[in-house]
Structure 1
Amino acid sequence: MIQTVPIGTVANDAVERLLDRAFGADRHTRTAYRLRAGTQALPDLSFALVEDAALLGSIQCWPVRFDGDDGTVCPLVLVGPVAILPERQQEGLGRRLMATALAAAGDGAPLTLIGDPEYYGRFFGFDAAATARWRLPGPVERHRLLARGAQVPGGPGVLGPRLPVAAPA
Protein backbone atom coordinates (compact mmCIF):
# COMPACT_ATOMS: atom_id res chain seq x y z
CA MET A 1 0.00 0.00 0.00
CA ILE A 2 1.35 3.40 -1.02
CA GLN A 3 1.37 5.98 1.77
CA THR A 4 1.86 9.75 1.64
CA VAL A 5 4.05 10.89 4.52
CA PRO A 6 5.79 14.12 5.54
CA ILE A 7 9.16 14.21 3.80
CA GLY A 8 10.86 14.73 7.16
CA THR A 9 10.02 11.12 8.06
CA VAL A 10 12.21 9.85 5.19
CA ALA A 11 15.99 9.69 5.33
CA ASN A 12 17.52 12.67 3.52
CA ASP A 13 20.05 10.48 1.71
CA ALA A 14 17.18 8.40 0.26
CA VAL A 15 15.57 11.58 -1.09
CA GLU A 16 18.90 12.70 -2.56
CA ARG A 17 19.38 9.33 -4.30
CA LEU A 18 15.85 9.57 -5.72
CA LEU A 19 16.53 13.07 -7.03
CA ASP A 20 19.78 11.91 -8.65
CA ARG A 21 17.95 9.07 -10.38
CA ALA A 22 15.09 11.26 -11.52
CA PHE A 23 17.08 14.35 -12.61
CA GLY A 24 20.73 13.33 -12.87
CA ALA A 25 23.72 14.04 -10.68
CA ASP A 26 24.20 17.45 -12.36
CA ARG A 27 20.82 18.70 -11.10
CA HIS A 28 22.47 21.12 -8.63
CA THR A 29 23.54 23.38 -11.53
CA ARG A 30 19.95 24.21 -12.48
CA THR A 31 18.34 27.58 -11.87
CA ALA A 32 15.76 26.06 -9.50
CA TYR A 33 18.60 25.24 -7.09
CA ARG A 34 19.73 28.87 -7.16
CA LEU A 35 16.18 29.97 -6.38
CA ARG A 36 16.17 28.00 -3.16
CA ALA A 37 19.80 28.53 -2.14
CA GLY A 38 20.18 29.04 1.60
CA THR A 39 16.63 28.00 2.41
CA GLN A 40 15.04 24.87 3.82
CA ALA A 41 12.13 23.01 2.26
CA LEU A 42 8.80 23.89 3.86
CA PRO A 43 7.97 20.83 5.99
CA ASP A 44 4.19 21.38 5.90
CA LEU A 45 4.23 21.37 2.07
CA SER A 46 6.82 18.67 1.35
CA PHE A 47 5.86 15.00 1.10
CA ALA A 48 7.06 11.55 0.12
CA LEU A 49 5.37 8.43 -1.19
CA VAL A 50 6.50 5.18 0.39
CA GLU A 51 5.52 1.58 -0.19
CA ASP A 52 6.79 -1.17 2.08
CA ALA A 53 9.38 1.26 3.48
CA ALA A 54 10.70 2.02 -0.04
CA LEU A 55 10.73 5.62 -1.29
CA LEU A 56 8.76 5.95 -4.55
CA GLY A 57 8.59 9.71 -4.91
CA SER A 58 8.92 13.08 -3.28
CA ILE A 59 7.84 16.68 -3.61
CA GLN A 60 9.50 19.61 -1.92
CA CYS A 61 8.27 23.18 -1.68
CA TRP A 62 10.52 26.11 -0.91
CA PRO A 63 10.19 29.69 0.33
CA VAL A 64 11.01 32.20 -2.42
CA ARG A 65 10.19 35.85 -2.89
CA PHE A 66 9.50 38.22 -5.73
CA ASP A 67 11.02 41.69 -5.46
CA GLY A 68 9.12 43.87 -7.89
CA ASP A 69 10.82 46.71 -9.69
CA ASP A 70 8.06 48.92 -8.22
CA GLY A 71 9.19 48.07 -4.65
CA THR A 72 6.58 45.43 -3.89
CA VAL A 73 7.70 42.25 -2.18
CA CYS A 74 5.67 39.09 -2.56
CA PRO A 75 6.46 35.83 -0.75
CA LEU A 76 5.84 32.81 -2.96
CA VAL A 77 6.26 29.06 -2.72
CA LEU A 78 8.48 27.33 -5.28
CA VAL A 79 6.97 23.92 -5.96
CA GLY A 80 9.40 21.16 -6.84
CA PRO A 81 11.23 19.13 -7.48
CA VAL A 82 8.62 16.44 -7.97
CA ALA A 83 10.56 13.20 -8.32
CA ILE A 84 9.30 9.69 -9.01
CA LEU A 85 11.40 6.57 -9.39
CA PRO A 86 11.90 6.16 -13.15
CA GLU A 87 10.43 2.64 -13.12
CA ARG A 88 7.29 3.91 -11.35
CA GLN A 89 6.56 6.88 -13.57
CA GLN A 90 3.29 7.00 -15.51
CA GLU A 91 1.35 5.62 -12.53
CA GLY A 92 -0.08 8.97 -11.41
CA LEU A 93 2.27 9.23 -8.44
CA GLY A 94 3.54 12.68 -9.39
CA ARG A 95 0.00 13.93 -9.77
CA ARG A 96 -0.81 12.51 -6.34
CA LEU A 97 2.13 14.35 -4.75
CA MET A 98 1.22 17.61 -6.49
CA ALA A 99 -2.39 17.36 -5.34
CA THR A 100 -1.25 16.74 -1.76
CA ALA A 101 1.14 19.71 -1.74
CA LEU A 102 -1.40 22.04 -3.38
CA ALA A 103 -4.08 21.05 -0.89
CA ALA A 104 -1.66 21.72 1.97
CA ALA A 105 -0.79 25.14 0.50
CA GLY A 106 -4.46 26.11 0.31
CA ASP A 107 -6.60 27.69 -2.37
CA GLY A 108 -5.18 30.85 -3.86
CA ALA A 109 -1.69 30.45 -2.39
CA PRO A 110 0.89 32.19 -4.60
CA LEU A 111 2.91 29.37 -6.14
CA THR A 112 5.53 29.12 -8.84
CA LEU A 113 7.46 26.31 -10.50
CA ILE A 114 9.66 25.50 -13.45
CA GLY A 115 8.09 22.71 -15.45
CA ASP A 116 6.11 21.46 -18.41
CA PRO A 117 3.36 24.03 -19.13
CA GLU A 118 1.04 21.50 -20.77
CA TYR A 119 1.12 19.14 -17.80
CA TYR A 120 1.07 21.68 -14.96
CA GLY A 121 -1.46 23.86 -16.76
CA ARG A 122 -3.84 21.07 -17.64
CA PHE A 123 -3.89 19.35 -14.28
CA PHE A 124 -3.07 22.11 -11.81
CA GLY A 125 -3.87 25.51 -13.33
CA PHE A 126 -0.31 26.87 -13.63
CA ASP A 127 0.58 29.16 -16.54
CA ALA A 128 3.23 31.65 -17.64
CA ALA A 129 0.95 34.69 -17.94
CA ALA A 130 2.33 36.50 -14.87
CA THR A 131 5.97 35.44 -15.15
CA ALA A 132 6.96 36.92 -18.52
CA ARG A 133 8.96 39.79 -16.97
CA TRP A 134 10.40 37.99 -13.98
CA ARG A 135 14.18 37.76 -13.73
CA LEU A 136 15.84 34.72 -12.19
CA PRO A 137 19.36 33.93 -10.90
CA GLY A 138 20.10 31.77 -13.93
CA PRO A 139 18.73 30.71 -17.28
CA VAL A 140 15.15 29.52 -17.71
CA GLU A 141 12.99 28.69 -20.68
CA ARG A 142 10.37 31.46 -20.30
CA HIS A 143 7.43 29.23 -21.22
CA ARG A 144 8.40 26.82 -18.41
CA LEU A 145 8.36 29.46 -15.63
CA LEU A 146 4.82 29.01 -14.33
CA ALA A 147 2.70 30.41 -11.52
CA ARG A 148 -0.79 30.25 -10.04
CA GLY A 149 -2.66 32.01 -7.28
CA ALA A 150 -4.49 35.28 -6.75
CA GLN A 151 -1.47 37.01 -5.15
CA VAL A 152 1.04 36.19 -7.92
CA PRO A 153 2.63 39.44 -9.14
CA GLY A 154 2.57 40.15 -12.86
CA GLY A 155 5.07 42.96 -13.27
CA PRO A 156 8.82 43.00 -13.73
CA GLY A 157 11.07 42.00 -10.87
CA VAL A 158 13.46 39.43 -9.46
CA LEU A 159 12.59 36.00 -8.12
CA GLY A 160 15.00 34.60 -5.54
CA PRO A 161 15.33 32.79 -2.22
CA ARG A 162 13.26 33.95 0.74
CA LEU A 163 15.94 33.77 3.38
CA PRO A 164 15.07 33.63 7.05
CA VAL A 165 15.31 36.92 8.86
CA ALA A 166 18.19 36.90 11.31
CA ALA A 167 17.34 37.77 14.89
CA PRO A 168 18.87 41.02 16.15
CA ALA A 169 22.11 40.55 18.04
Structure 2
Amino acid sequence: MDAADSSPTLIPLDAVDPALVEQLLDRAFGTDRHGRTAYKVREGMDWLPGLSFAALDDEGHLVGTIQTWPVALTDPEGRAHPMLMVGPVAVVPERQGEGYGQALMLAMLGALDDRAPLPQVLIGDADYYGRFFGFSAAPTGGWQVPGPYERDRLLVRAVNPAVLPSEGTLGPWRG
Protein backbone atom coordinates (compact mmCIF):
# COMPACT_ATOMS: atom_id res chain seq x y z
CA MET A 1 0.00 0.00 0.00
CA ASP A 2 1.53 3.30 -0.96
CA ALA A 3 0.42 6.81 -0.10
CA ALA A 4 -1.93 6.90 -3.10
CA ASP A 5 -3.83 3.85 -1.85
CA SER A 6 -6.60 4.03 0.68
CA SER A 7 -6.35 2.44 4.09
CA PRO A 8 -6.63 -1.32 4.19
CA THR A 9 -9.98 -2.84 5.00
CA LEU A 10 -9.80 -4.36 8.47
CA ILE A 11 -12.38 -6.85 9.70
CA PRO A 12 -12.67 -9.02 12.81
CA LEU A 13 -10.55 -12.12 12.40
CA ASP A 14 -13.42 -14.36 13.43
CA ALA A 15 -15.22 -13.28 10.22
CA VAL A 16 -12.55 -15.11 8.16
CA ASP A 17 -12.52 -18.82 7.35
CA PRO A 18 -9.94 -20.36 9.73
CA ALA A 19 -8.49 -22.41 6.85
CA LEU A 20 -7.63 -19.17 5.01
CA VAL A 21 -5.94 -17.82 8.13
CA GLU A 22 -3.85 -20.99 8.44
CA GLN A 23 -2.85 -20.77 4.77
CA LEU A 24 -1.78 -17.14 5.24
CA LEU A 25 0.26 -18.02 8.35
CA ASP A 26 1.94 -20.89 6.49
CA ARG A 27 2.89 -18.52 3.66
CA ALA A 28 4.18 -15.85 6.04
CA PHE A 29 6.05 -18.06 8.52
CA GLY A 30 6.34 -21.54 7.02
CA THR A 31 4.58 -24.79 7.74
CA ASP A 32 6.96 -25.53 10.63
CA ARG A 33 5.81 -22.44 12.56
CA HIS A 34 3.96 -24.47 15.23
CA GLY A 35 7.29 -25.41 16.83
CA ARG A 36 8.23 -21.78 17.52
CA THR A 37 8.53 -20.49 21.05
CA ALA A 38 5.59 -18.07 20.70
CA TYR A 39 3.31 -21.04 20.05
CA LYS A 40 4.51 -22.67 23.28
CA VAL A 41 3.86 -19.50 25.29
CA ARG A 42 0.18 -19.48 24.27
CA GLU A 43 -0.30 -23.26 24.03
CA GLY A 44 -3.85 -24.44 24.68
CA MET A 45 -5.32 -20.92 24.54
CA ASP A 46 -7.74 -19.42 22.04
CA TRP A 47 -7.00 -16.03 20.51
CA LEU A 48 -9.16 -13.13 21.64
CA PRO A 49 -11.73 -12.16 18.98
CA GLY A 50 -12.04 -8.53 20.16
CA LEU A 51 -8.29 -7.96 19.67
CA SER A 52 -7.66 -10.01 16.52
CA PHE A 53 -8.11 -8.66 13.00
CA ALA A 54 -7.69 -9.43 9.31
CA ALA A 55 -6.57 -7.07 6.54
CA LEU A 56 -8.07 -7.25 3.07
CA ASP A 57 -6.62 -5.61 -0.02
CA ASP A 58 -8.63 -3.50 -2.46
CA GLU A 59 -9.87 -6.65 -4.18
CA GLY A 60 -11.05 -8.24 -0.94
CA HIS A 61 -8.22 -10.78 -0.68
CA LEU A 62 -6.90 -11.72 2.74
CA VAL A 63 -3.38 -10.26 2.97
CA GLY A 64 -2.72 -10.02 6.71
CA THR A 65 -3.81 -11.04 10.18
CA ILE A 66 -3.06 -10.26 13.79
CA GLN A 67 -3.96 -12.45 16.73
CA THR A 68 -3.87 -11.57 20.42
CA TRP A 69 -3.79 -14.20 23.16
CA PRO A 70 -4.27 -14.31 26.95
CA VAL A 71 -0.97 -15.12 28.65
CA ALA A 72 0.56 -14.51 32.05
CA LEU A 73 3.95 -13.89 33.55
CA THR A 74 4.26 -16.07 36.65
CA ASP A 75 6.65 -14.49 39.12
CA PRO A 76 9.00 -16.45 41.42
CA GLU A 77 6.35 -16.40 44.19
CA GLY A 78 3.87 -18.13 41.88
CA ARG A 79 1.65 -15.10 41.24
CA ALA A 80 0.31 -14.86 37.68
CA HIS A 81 0.39 -11.40 36.12
CA PRO A 82 -2.04 -11.38 33.15
CA MET A 83 -0.79 -10.01 29.84
CA LEU A 84 -1.71 -10.07 26.18
CA MET A 85 0.54 -11.80 23.69
CA VAL A 86 0.47 -10.10 20.32
CA GLY A 87 1.13 -12.21 17.27
CA PRO A 88 1.56 -13.55 14.94
CA VAL A 89 1.36 -10.35 12.96
CA ALA A 90 1.38 -11.88 9.49
CA VAL A 91 1.32 -10.40 6.00
CA VAL A 92 1.65 -12.45 2.82
CA PRO A 93 5.22 -12.13 1.51
CA GLU A 94 4.36 -10.22 -1.67
CA ARG A 95 2.51 -7.51 0.31
CA GLN A 96 5.00 -7.00 3.14
CA GLY A 97 6.31 -3.47 3.54
CA GLU A 98 3.04 -1.94 2.30
CA GLY A 99 1.64 -0.91 5.71
CA TYR A 100 -0.69 -3.82 6.39
CA GLY A 101 1.19 -4.98 9.49
CA GLN A 102 1.25 -1.47 10.91
CA ALA A 103 -2.49 -1.04 10.27
CA LEU A 104 -3.20 -4.35 12.03
CA MET A 105 -1.08 -3.36 15.04
CA LEU A 106 -2.81 0.03 15.28
CA ALA A 107 -6.23 -1.65 15.12
CA MET A 108 -5.31 -4.04 17.93
CA LEU A 109 -3.86 -1.28 20.09
CA GLY A 110 -6.90 0.89 19.42
CA ALA A 111 -9.20 -1.92 20.58
CA LEU A 112 -7.52 -2.18 23.99
CA ASP A 113 -9.53 -1.02 26.98
CA ASP A 114 -7.75 2.21 27.87
CA ARG A 115 -9.23 2.17 31.39
CA ALA A 116 -7.02 -0.77 32.37
CA PRO A 117 -4.95 -2.07 29.47
CA LEU A 118 -3.02 -5.22 30.19
CA PRO A 119 0.66 -5.19 29.26
CA GLN A 120 1.24 -6.48 25.75
CA VAL A 121 4.11 -8.83 25.02
CA LEU A 122 5.51 -10.16 21.75
CA ILE A 123 8.54 -11.77 20.21
CA GLY A 124 9.70 -9.57 17.37
CA ASP A 125 12.00 -6.95 15.94
CA ALA A 126 12.84 -4.45 18.70
CA ASP A 127 13.65 -1.62 16.28
CA TYR A 128 10.32 -1.88 14.45
CA TYR A 129 8.01 -2.55 17.40
CA GLY A 130 9.83 -0.07 19.61
CA ARG A 131 9.90 2.78 17.12
CA PHE A 132 6.29 2.51 15.98
CA PHE A 133 4.46 1.07 18.98
CA GLY A 134 6.51 1.62 22.15
CA PHE A 135 7.58 -1.98 22.84
CA SER A 136 10.85 -2.54 24.72
CA ALA A 137 13.08 -5.40 25.79
CA ALA A 138 14.35 -3.50 28.84
CA PRO A 139 11.77 -4.89 31.33
CA THR A 140 12.01 -8.49 30.06
CA GLY A 141 15.66 -9.24 30.88
CA GLY A 142 14.77 -11.55 33.78
CA TRP A 143 11.85 -13.25 32.06
CA GLN A 144 11.86 -16.80 30.75
CA VAL A 145 9.82 -18.41 27.99
CA PRO A 146 9.36 -22.09 27.06
CA GLY A 147 11.74 -22.66 24.20
CA PRO A 148 14.61 -20.90 22.48
CA TYR A 149 14.42 -17.17 21.78
CA GLU A 150 16.67 -14.18 21.32
CA ARG A 151 16.47 -12.16 24.54
CA ASP A 152 16.41 -8.81 22.71
CA ARG A 153 13.31 -9.94 20.77
CA LEU A 154 11.13 -10.55 23.87
CA LEU A 155 9.35 -7.21 24.05
CA VAL A 156 6.69 -5.67 26.25
CA ARG A 157 4.56 -2.54 26.13
CA ALA A 158 2.92 -1.30 29.33
CA VAL A 159 1.36 1.94 30.50
CA ASN A 160 3.57 1.76 33.58
CA PRO A 161 6.52 -0.62 33.02
CA ALA A 162 7.57 -0.14 36.67
CA VAL A 163 4.75 -2.46 37.78
CA LEU A 164 6.04 -5.36 35.68
CA PRO A 165 7.75 -8.18 37.58
CA SER A 166 11.49 -8.21 36.96
CA GLU A 167 11.51 -12.04 36.88
CA GLY A 168 9.10 -14.71 35.85
CA THR A 169 8.05 -17.25 33.27
CA LEU A 170 5.73 -16.36 30.44
CA GLY A 171 3.06 -18.89 29.55
CA PRO A 172 -0.65 -19.44 28.90
CA TRP A 173 -3.09 -17.57 31.16
CA ARG A 174 -4.95 -20.15 33.18
CA GLY A 175 -6.90 -17.68 35.36
- Settle same-fold status: TM greater than 0.5: yes
Do residues 144 (structure 1) and 153 (structure 2) align?
A: yes
Which residue of 93, 98, 110 maps to 2:100? Answer: 93
Distance 1:8 1:50 in 2: 14
Unaligned runs of 5+ in 2: 1-5
The 5-angstrom pairing of residues 15-26 of structure 1 reads 15-26=21-32
Alpha-carbon distance change, 42 to 111 in structure 1, aligned in 2, over 3 angstroms: same
Pairwise CA distance, 1:62: 0.3
- After the TM superposition, which residues 76-91 of structure 1 pair with which residues of structure 2 at under 5 Å, given as runs? 76-91=83-98
Q: Which residue of 1 aligns with 2:63?
A: 56
The equivalent residue for 1:41 is: 47
Query: C-alpha offsets along residues 116-157 of structure 1, whole Å, 9 cap, x if unaligned?
Result: 000000000000111111111111100000001126623111
Partner of residue 123 from structure 1, selected from 115, 132, 135: 132
Q: Alignment partner of 2:108: what SS?
A: helix
| Separation of aligned partners in 2, 1:80 and 1:70 | 28
The answer for unaligned runs of 5 or more in structure 1 is none
Instruction: Determine if the alignment matches structure 1 residue 156 to structure 2 residue 162.
Output: no
Structure 2 CA distance for aligned equivalents of residues 160 and 153 of structure 1 = 15
Aligned-pair identity in percent equals 51
Equivalents in 2 of 1:72, 1:91: separation in Å?
Answer: 41
Aligned partner of 1:123: which letter?
Answer: F
SS of 2:139's equivalent in the other structure is: coil
Could you tell which deviates more after superposition, 17-26 or 70-79? Answer: 70-79
**CA offset at residue 106 of structure 1?**
3.7
2:141 aligned residue: 132
Question: 2:35 aligns to what?
Answer: 29
Give TM-score scaled by structure 1 length.
0.92
Aligned residue pairs, count:
164
24-33 or 106-115, larger mean C-alpha shift: 106-115
Matching residue's letter, 1:114 = I
Partner AA of 1:125 in structure 2: G
SS in 2 for 1:100: helix
Q: Match of 2:167, as an amino acid? A: P
Match of 1:110 among 101, 109, 119: 119
